[in-house]
Amino acid sequence: MTVYQRAMRHVRLMLLNVGLGAVFIIAVERFYGHSTWAFAIVAVVLIAINFRLWRYACPRCGSNLFMRRVLIMPWPNRVCSQCGLDLKGEKPAA
């Protein structure tokens, strides 16, 4: 499995957890009324899961797949922005 495929798996995991977090908050609001604790729990869980984001780096130069200069994007690069490595197939880009 390429580093790009692992990064896309992380994106899908995060989307699933955002959806489950929204359902959890809605359920708590519906059955127990307004609670900032439900939002806080979901926020802490999402932040904890997102620490994996820093593991996905280009195998050639070590550049993070989710970084675009100084911005962090929610989807990974297919081609490394620094060395040009094709991360989807991990072959040198033309």
CB 87 within 8 A of CB 77: yes
Q: How many domains does the chain have?
A: 1
Per-residue burial over 9-35, b = 16 or more CB atoms within 10 Å of its CB, e = otherwise: ebeeebeebeeebeebbeebeeeeeee
Would you say residue 23 has pLDDT above 70? yes
- Reference 4, options 84, 75, 83; nearest CA is 75
pLDDT digits (tens, 9 = 90+) for 48-91: 988 888 888 888 888 888 888 788 888 888 888 888 888 887 65
Residue whose token pair is 């033309």? 94
Would you say residue 93 has pLDDT above 50? no
> What beta strand segments (E) does 1-94 contain?
67-68, 71-72, 85-86, 91-92
Would you say residue 92 has pLDDT above 60? no
* Mean pLDDT over each residue of the chain, to the nearest integer: 86
What pLDDT is stored for residue 43 in this prediction?
94
What pLDDT is stored for residue 45 in this prediction?
94
Q: Which domain holds residue 38?
A: 3-92
Q: Is 94 helix (H, G, I), strand (E, B) or coil?
A: coil
The tokens for 29 are 């609001």
Higher-confidence position of 29 and 82: 29
